[in-house]
Structure 1
Amino acid sequence: MTPLPRDAEDLLRTLAPRVLGTLVRRHGQFDACEDAVQEALLAAAVQWPDQGVPNNPSGWLLTVASRRLTDEWRSERARRDRETAVAVREPEHTGVVPAPGDEPPGTTGDDTLKLLFLCCHPALSKPAQVALTLRAVGGLTTAEIARAFLVPEPTMTQRIRRGKNRIQASGARFAMPGPEERDKRIQAVLQVLYLIFNEGYTATSGPHLHRADLTAEAIRLTRMLHGLLPDDGEVAGLLALMLLTDAHRAARTGPAGELIPLAEQDRSRWDRAAIAEGTALITEALTWSPPGPYQLQAAIAAVHAEADRAEETDWPQIVALYRLWSRLAPSPMVTLNEAVAVAMVDGPDAGLARLRDVESDERMAGHHRLAAVRAHLLELAGDDAGARTAYQEAARRTTSLPEQRYLTGRAARLLSR
Structure 2
Amino acid sequence: MVDAHQTFVIVGAGLAGAKAAETLRSEGFTGRVILIGDERDHPYERPPLSKGYLTGGADRDSAFVQQAPWYAEHDIELHLGQPVVGLHRADRTVTLGDGTNLHYDKLLLTTGSEPRRLDIPGTDLAGVHHLRRLAHADRLKNVLASLGRENGHLVIAGAGWIGLEVAAAARGYGAEVTIIEPAPTPLHSVLGPELGAVFTDLHAEHGVRFQFGRRLTEITGQDGMVLAAITDDGEEHPAHDVLAAIGAAPRTALAESSGLTMADPPLGGIAVDASLRTSDPDIFAAGDVAAADHPLLGQRLRVEHWANALNGGPAAARAMLGREVSYDRIPYFFSDQYDLGLEFSGHAAPGSYDQVVCRGDVGKRQFIAFWLREGRVLAGMNVNVWDVTEAIQHLIRSGRPVDPDALADPAVPLSTLG
Larger radius of gyration: 1
Say which structure is richer in helix. Answer: 1
Say which structure is richer in strand. Answer: 2
Q: Under TM normalisation by the shorter chain, which class is it?
A: under 0.3
Instruction: Report the TM-score when normalising by structure 2.
Output: 0.27
Instruction: Report the TM-score when normalising by structure 1.
Output: 0.27
